[in-house]
Structure 1
Amino acid sequence: MQTRPVVSVIIVSYNTREMTLDCLRALYADLAGLDSEVWVVDNASTDGSPAAIRAAFPAVHLLENSRNVGFGIANNQAMARAGGEFFLLLNTDAFPKPGAVGSLVAYLRAHPDTAIAGPRLLNADGSLQISCFPFPSPSRAWLENLWISTALPNHPVVGDYRRWPHDRERQVDTVIGACMLVRRTAYEQVGGFDENFFMYTEEIEWQRRLRDRNWQIAFTPTAQVTHLGGASGATEAARINRHFFDSLDYYEWKHHGLAGLISLRLAMTIGCFLRSILWTLVLVAVPRRRPLARSKARLQAWLTVRQATHWRLDLRGRAQC
């Protein structure tokens, strides 16, 4: 009788060949002794990723898409096929430290009411990376875009998740999707990612649905993962922001209705406008910061116009990466 693996690791790859290989090396070093399987879903990479993965890691279950279907659909494809008791969703730029996966498994086994456990994320230099956040809402958008949360860092709605030192276990609203361990039975109850999302916010919406079904989301610092994140220029930043705001619009519309969406967009428009003014002042007053300030001012001005004028909930139809 075939036994179910403890963990099915799922990695979505898109033109990150060398990083994906590095991720797999770190992963397999951590998985030693743990009954597991590894799935990689490649979203039509053009950098030779599939061939390189096959050559270096023949045991990997590799799914190849003919186009970039996005983060959520790709993960859903693998979760529908994977056999693990738990799913570890792992970004290609996330590198588990020794014992990380085992610590996450131990946490979920000790807390049967918890659907997702997230690790302590570290930057490349070893510093803490904030990885837990409250659910988005219109009121929170106003607090953040008018800098009220900055002026009141201990505000219970916004400040708490950013101020605590991430040195103890606790229940949270959301953990970011760079690395999360998911209980299969929770997935079977609520389903996978909403496939109307292409990228960004889909893991937040998923955790919202889990919380609505009385599942808990948790952070545990005993598991540590280095997460590099992405660096981008002005053109790339504009594309990323477009996808992010499209997804945030859909989240607000889905969970807070039209009134919530309108409130969010008004808060975001005002916030982007204020930031464009701030960066313009930096551009004029601080010569050594001019290259950065010019780029930031242009981006925030573009976002101001985009937030005020773009009102289509056009998610699956938007341009591919």
Structure 2
Amino acid sequence: MKLLQRLKQALKAKNRLTTSRFSITINDKQPAMALLGEQDCLVTGFVPYGDIPVALATGTCLHFNLVPHSKIITKIRLRVGTYCRVNHCHITVQLNDFTHRFNAHDLVDNEYVEISLPTPLTCVAGQPLDIQIYSEDATQDNQVAVWCARKPPTFKSSLPQKFFLGFRGLGMRFSRNEKRILRKGFAQPQPPPRVSIVIPVFNKALYTYNCLLTVQACDQPISKEVIIINNASSDETAALLAQQQGAFKIINNEENQGFVQACRQGAEIADGEFILFLNNDTQVMPGWLSNRVKVMDDHPEVGITGSKLIYPDGRLQEAGGIIFNDASGWNYGRLQDPTNPKFNQSREIDYCSGASLMIRKTLWEQLGGFDLRYAPAYYEDTDLCFAARQAGYKVLYCHDSEVIHHEGITAGTDIQSGYKAYQAINHKKFQAKWWNVLSTHMPPPPQTSPEAAAFRLMAAKTTAFRIPNHKILATHLLAQGWAANFWSYLNINHIDEELYLIQSVGFNTVIILVPWVGFQTKVDPITYHEDYFTLFEQLLEKVQAHGLQIILRLGYTHDNGPYSEPEGYLRQIVVGADSVMFNAWCDYLDRVWAIARLFPNVLGGFITWEDFFFVIWKNTTA
């Protein structure tokens, strides 16, 4: 990588580093990081623009120059940009014999870190001092990307050809000497935009900068305009936006108007067929826009689309929003694996986050935009989605529109103060406005599982499983003499032999008996062993891998072997008469359905009333 080689050479020349100590790693997972490597100013500590980002893993040491203006230094003041890679490792700052160690998780992006020296340091004014930054406990999965700057780098409108040809994931390596291509820069004449991207901004200039770079880099064929509403920012935001005059539509508010009003301001001057509201603390990924435009072009009944939101550390933030009957919200899939198949299918949802929400302009105008009763922020996106559905449109989660969202950068996370306090206030307003619609929604956990609620709208429109066009040759799947006792870890690990045997003798379908186990009736509220649902999904994956179809046979009972009371079919009456247990049973069915519907080889299922374990026990003793 030529850029890396030149960086090493530059650092050796400027900072007098030894090759045995120095190693540098470019974090190439963010396109904004990649473009920063193309800026005119490379890694130095005293230039007015930013450094190349460096991933501080163990063995990596960043050196840069500090040029003192006087003969005495009493403290070091560093400004650190973390570019979303902040984890629980420690960073050490070293100046001569002085070292200072702190937790990287305490860093605030774009904020100054002030380190006082225990004793004043005597130096020569104007002569560079070598400052070293390194981490002793960072690992590949536990590291922090840092850089030091005095203000954001100059925004550039070009990227190397190789960057686009090989763009996959969040970024890729490139050479500074690659042929550069001038993008359809925002400053150049554009065709009428299909999408107007509205970005409200309050401070956090570096996040805004990173966001704009990714918007610029991704989905170029889609004609778009960017509208930035600067809500009286007090940091370098105004200076950053001043560089972009003519490149974007910019509104500078003298006072902070809040998110709702800022979005309405941006929408008022939008020329696009679609209006897309995007938080400035986001980084978009390839396909994030084009995939949504295609969905809305192909499906005129879809009025609003939302993205898959991902935390900077790679965990899922939201795969569509859920609203329960008490108006409380739930980010479906939060902190889970975004590659899980259940998060990778587009579906109708209750609402999508305003962090990345796209709506038809005609629908926006028809509904009157965000309801001002929710100003300055919170629940305005949910309300808009409810209104769109009431107007006859669908709200869709687009799994292939991926956006990294830092979350809480502007409003914070303390629900007792600041903008975040409006979350509770607007919750009550939303509940009062939509109480009649909310009465048709499911209750919140633990009464309802998030999976059941997440697929509520899709399940309501699904009337049947797939009907095969060939003869079904089915057999029950047995395991170690028990009827589909696949809940055992031992059995699930050895099930392939049985599936191979079933397939080899000509069966094309297996009937899987699903007993109601892992169900804690003595616990209030009634709970499940989540591991059993994981095992169920693993079993379906194994059966699918063998090319077999599946029919589910669901047991309507809570089994505890031959000692369960009452015996046999009488237990169904007990379950049905107990409303709490019956609701838990229905919730269990929803959980099973939510998993089963992910597999196209599942033909359907039926409910049986006998006590499986009781019958088997009697047969074995006869």
1:211 — aligned with what? 389
2:425 is the counterpart of 1:246: yes
1:111 maps to which of 287, 299, 305: 299
Aligned equivalents of 2:212 and 2:409: distance in 1?
Answer: 21
1:129 maps to which of 305, 317, 321: 317
2:352 — aligned with what? 175
2:7 — aligned with what? none
C-alpha change, 1:103 and 1:232, in structure 2 (3 Å) is closer
What secondary structure sits across from 2:297 in the alignment?
helix
1:256 — aligned with what? 435
Instruction: Tell me the CA shift for residue 34 of structure 1.
Output: 2.0
Listed as ranges, the matches of 1:71-86 within 5 Å are 71-86=259-274
The 8 Å contact of residues 23 and 92 in structure 1, kept in 2 or not, is answered as yes
C-alpha change, 1:123 and 1:235, in structure 2 (3 Å) is closer
- Structure with bigger RCO (C-alpha 8 Å, 6+ apart): 1
Bigger proportion of residues as helix: 1
Aligned equivalents of 2:331 and 2:278: distance in 1?
Answer: 27
Aligned equivalents of 1:159 and 1:190: distance in 2?
Answer: 25
Greater Rg by CA? 2
C-alpha change, 1:234 and 1:30, in structure 2 (3 Å) is closer
**What is the letter of the counterpart of residue 227 of structure 1?**
H
The 8 Å contact of residues 21 and 53 in structure 1, kept in 2 or not, is answered as no
Paired positions, count: 243
C-alpha change, 1:228 and 1:57, in structure 2 (3 Å) is farther
C-alpha change, 1:217 and 1:235, in structure 2 (3 Å) is closer
Greater displacement, 89-98 / 164-173: 164-173
Q: Runs of 5+ in structure 2 lacking a partner?
A: 1-189, 444-622
What secondary structure sits across from 2:369 in the alignment?
coil
1:165 — aligned with what? 342
Aligned equivalents of 2:242 and 2:215: distance in 1?
Answer: 16
Aligned equivalents of 2:411 and 2:343: distance in 1?
Answer: 30
C-alpha change, 1:20 and 1:233, in structure 2 (3 Å) is closer
**What is the letter of the counterpart of residue 196 of structure 1?**
R
Aligned equivalents of 1:27 and 1:69: distance in 2?
Answer: 24
Aligned equivalents of 1:134 and 1:213: distance in 2?
Answer: 19
Instruction: Tell me the CA shift for residue 161 of structure 1.
Output: 7.2
Instruction: Tell me the CA shift for residue 7 of structure 1.
Output: 0.8
Aligned equivalents of 1:127 and 1:100: distance in 2?
Answer: 17
2:194 — aligned with what? 6
Instruction: Tell me the CA shift for residue 181 of structure 1.
Output: 1.5
1:185 — aligned with what? 362
Bigger proportion of residues as strand: 2
2:251 — aligned with what? 63
1:16 — aligned with what? 204
CA RMSD, Structure 1 to Structure 2 (Å)? 2.9
Aligned equivalents of 1:170 and 1:161: distance in 2?
Answer: 14
Greater displacement, 5-14 / 237-246: 237-246
Deviations 1:169-205 (A, max 9, x none): 1111101111112111211221200112111111101
Aligned equivalents of 1:176 and 1:208: distance in 2?
Answer: 13
Listed as ranges, the matches of 1:88-107 within 5 Å are 88-107=276-295
Instruction: Tell me the CA shift for residue 136 of structure 1.
Output: 4.7
What secondary structure sits across from 2:424 in the alignment?
helix
